[in-house]
A and B are shown apart, each in its own frame.
Chain A
Amino acid sequence: MKKLLIFLVTLIFTAGVAQAQDQPVSLGYTPSSYYSFSWNTSFTVGDFNKWVGNGSPAGFDFGGRYLIRKGLMAGFNFGWQRISQSYGYQTFYGDDGAAITSTNYRFTWMVPFQAVIGYQLMSDKMISPYLSLGIGGDYMEHHLLVQEYDIYKTRWDFSLTPELGALVKFGSYSSWGALVAVNYKWTTNQIVIANNQDLKNISMVNLKVGIVLIVR
Chain B
Amino acid sequence: MKTKLLLMLGLTGIALVSCSKYPPSSSRLTEDMAIYTKYDVTTDFTKFKTYYLSDSIVKVSTKDSGWYYNSTVQSFTARIAQNMNNLGYTRSWNKKTVDLYLGVSYVVNINVTTYYPGWYWGYYPYNYWGGYGPYYPYYPAYVTSYSTGTVLIDMMDVKNPVGKQYPIRWNCYIRALLTGDHTSAQINGSVDQAFTQTKGFPKR
A residues near B, CB below 8 A? 35, 37, 58, 60, 62, 80, 82, 84, 86, 91, 93-94, 96-105, 107, 109, 141, 143, 145-148, 175, 211, 213, 215
Contacts and interface: CB of A to CB of B under 8 A. Distances in A.
Given A97-B38, A147-B175, A213-B8, A84 B27 contact: yes
B5 A35 contact: yes
B29 A147 contact: yes
A101 B19 contact: no
Given A98-B36, A99-B198, A60 B16 contact: yes
Interface residues of B, number: 40
Nearest to A61: B12
A143 B23 CA distance: 11
B36 A105 contact: no
A213 B4 contact: yes
Which of A86, A102, A104 has most B Cβ within 10 Å? A102
A62 B10 CA distance: 11
B193 interface: yes
A145 B28 contact: yes
Interface of B: 1, 4-5, 7-9, 11-12, 15-16, 19, 21-23, 27-30, 32-41, 138-139, 141, 143-145, 175, 193, 197-200
A58 B27 CA distance: 15
A142 B177 CA distance: 30
Nearest to B21: A109
B38 A98 contact: yes
A96 B197 contact: no
Contacts of B9: 62
The A interface, classified by DSSP as helix, strand, loop or mixed, is strand
A145 B22 CA distance: 10
B23 A105 contact: yes
Contacts of A99: 36-38, 197-199
A215 B1 contact: yes
Nearest to B200: A97
A98 B37 contact: yes
A96 B29 contact: no
Given A80-B16, A96-B38, A213-B4, A103 B32 contact: yes
